[in-house]
Amino acid sequence: MTLTEQRKESMYKYAKAKLKRIPLDVQKEKYEQIKAAAVRSGESVNGYIKKAIDERIERNSL
C-alpha cells in the first residue's frame, strides 16, 4: 500500500507534535540479547524496550 503525500504529511505533523525520539546506542551483543528477548515475548525491539521502561517507571513510583 502506497502512502499518499497528504497521509505522509499528516503522519509527519503528528510525530513532530506528539513524539520525541530517544537515541539509544548499545553494543551489538546487547542488541542481539534484547532482540532475542523481544522475539521470545512476541514483541518488536521497540515495543520491548518501551514496555521495560514503563515497568521500571511503575515499579519505582510505588
In the predicted model, residues of the chain with pLDDT beneath 50 are none
pLDDT at residue 1, rounded to an integer:
63
Closest of 39, 43, 62, 60 to residue 51, by C-alpha? 43
Q: With H, G, I as helix, E, B as strand and everything else as coil, classify residue 16.
A: helix
Distance CA 8, CA 28 (A): 32
pLDDT at residue 44, rounded to an integer:
98
Distance CA 43, CA 27 (A): 20
pTM over 0.85: no
pLDDT at residue 62, rounded to an integer:
74
- Cα-Cα end-to-end distance for the chain: 45
